[in-house]
Structure 1
Amino acid sequence: MDAKTGFFYLFSVVLLFAAFRVITARNPVHAVLYLMLAFSQASAIWLLLKAEFLAIALVLVYLGAVMVLFLFVVMMLDIDVDSMRKGFWKHFPLAALMGAVVALEMAGVLLGGFRLTEDPATAAMAEAAAKGIQYSNAQEVGTLLYTQYVYPIEIAAVILLVAMITAIALTLRQRKDSKFVDASEQVRVKARDRMQLVKVAATRKAEATPAAEPEKAK
């Protein structure tokens, strides 16, 4: 067994352990930390597969932004863990069934696919070297995303935009502490509705101040 295979098994074992602890940890903060560990191990495995762009994107996006945000949110929220665990065994059969279905699907994919005789990254590097150009993993991913998968990317972008707008609308709707403004009222507004003239009494003249007394002669 070479060093690359050894690192793969090491990262895989740590990844499986961290993923198991994510769903079994009693403390939500510990669960988030284990999830961050799982993402870091997945990034290391992608590095072994010569998918540098995906590995760096996983570290920057999930570990550097999303999971840190989750960690701060979980730490700031006062979560009652005991009340959340009351319905655990009630929903356990459905959760176990869904987990079994996902495991069978993953087993079917792993057993039926990924039987490659040649490393795709190595073949792409050799082809780029034969053409006299420098191989770039990020360039290859960008080319695939914006040529072969351009329509799925656009559909996903529209769905994410709609989800973001919907989340903002649901958050700001029917809240007393939010400054909700009806757009139709803004369109129908008139100048007389915004400005009101008020008569103010004239100001009084300033009273004359008494002259200062001359200093007495010494």
Structure 2
Amino acid sequence: MMTQIVFYVFAAVLVLSATMVVCARNPVHSVLFLILAFFNAAGLFLIAGAEFLAMTLVIVYVGAVAVLFLFVVMMLDVNFARMREGVQRYAPIGGVVGGVLLVELIMAFTHWRVATNIDQIGHLVPSSPTRTNTAALGDVLYTHYIFLFQSCALVLLVAMIGAIVLTLRDRPTGRRQNIDRQHDRTAADSLEMLQVPLGAGVAAQGGFLRPHTSYDVAAVPGTYGTQAWREQEMEEETQTALVVIPPATGTKGQDNA
């Protein structure tokens, strides 16, 4: 009895939070409701005895995917007031698409039937008192559904690349590194060993020190912070001259005369 009550509580909160993900006007609130939906889905997995799926849902989706969605929404700085300007114009098209999806869902649920050989599917995961839920799930994922599993990984990879591309900004103060040169440099090129007396501290030695060319070794030539960039900045400062415009000699009345 108690298990049924807990199930209905988690299921009700899950349905309400999933509805608010779609209906919330603020996208940040939508992401927060999505996190709430993930937590309640994890609770349902625990009731079903799938503790590995529950922990994976909390760690992976709540700790990584949902937080990634939140960061992307906050960093894009989208003008949502401007996006809502054409809602009335495209409302009929959205209504038609929503109606088609509703009809498809109704047809799918009305024609859904329980398989007659449902009791014969147990051979995928052999039941054993010593076999854990994680081991059985691994057998199913990496044998019968390996291609679908890898396809899901590719979808997540595309989403990650898309988030990086959308939030990338080309700034003049950005530092870019040459990965091959960074891997080829030695410890002597980037570190400077100092004999600091006991109790003197770092401030007595002039602060944190590093070789002047440590960044130049691995940086892309000409980027911010390199020696070439500093020389260019110094050259531009020396060539800059203050232009003084002398005031006009005549007055407005004399010019008119």
Distance in 2, Cα, partners of 1:164 & 1:72: 13
Paired AA for residue 146 in structure 2: V
Matches within 5 A, 1:154-193: 154-157=150-153, 163=158, 167=162
1:145 aligns with 2:144: no
Identity of aligned pairs, percent? Answer: 37
Distance in 2, Cα, partners of 1:45 & 1:37: 13
Cα deviation for residue 103 of structure 1 reads 4.2
Aligned to 2:64: 65
Aligned to 2:84: 85
Distance in 2, Cα, partners of 1:29 & 1:170: 20
1:134 aligns with 2:130: yes
Aligned to 1:27: 26
Distance in 2, Cα, partners of 1:73 & 1:166: 12
Distance in 2, Cα, partners of 1:26 & 1:60: 27
Distance in 1, Cα, partners of 2:28 & 2:68: 12
Paired AA for residue 78 in structure 2: I
C-alpha distance 135-97 of structure 1, shift in aligned 2 (>3 A):
farther
Q: TM-score, normalised by structure 2?
A: 0.52
C-alpha distance 12-108 of structure 1, shift in aligned 2 (>3 A):
farther
C-alpha distance after superposition, 1:8-52 (max 9, x if no partner): 221122122212222222222212111111121122122222222
Native 8 Å contact 2:72 2:163 kept in 1: no
C-alpha distance 44-96 of structure 1, shift in aligned 2 (>3 A):
farther
Paired AA for residue 75 in structure 1: M
C-alpha distance after superposition, 1:90-125 (max 9, x if no partner): 3333434444444444455555557589x99xx89x
Aligned to 1:213: none
C-alpha distance 73-170 of structure 1, shift in aligned 2 (>3 A):
closer
Cα deviation for residue 77 of structure 1 reads 3.6
Q: What is the count of residue pairs matched by the alignment?
A: 174
Distance in 1, Cα, partners of 2:34 & 2:62: 9
Q: TM-score, normalised by structure 1?
A: 0.59
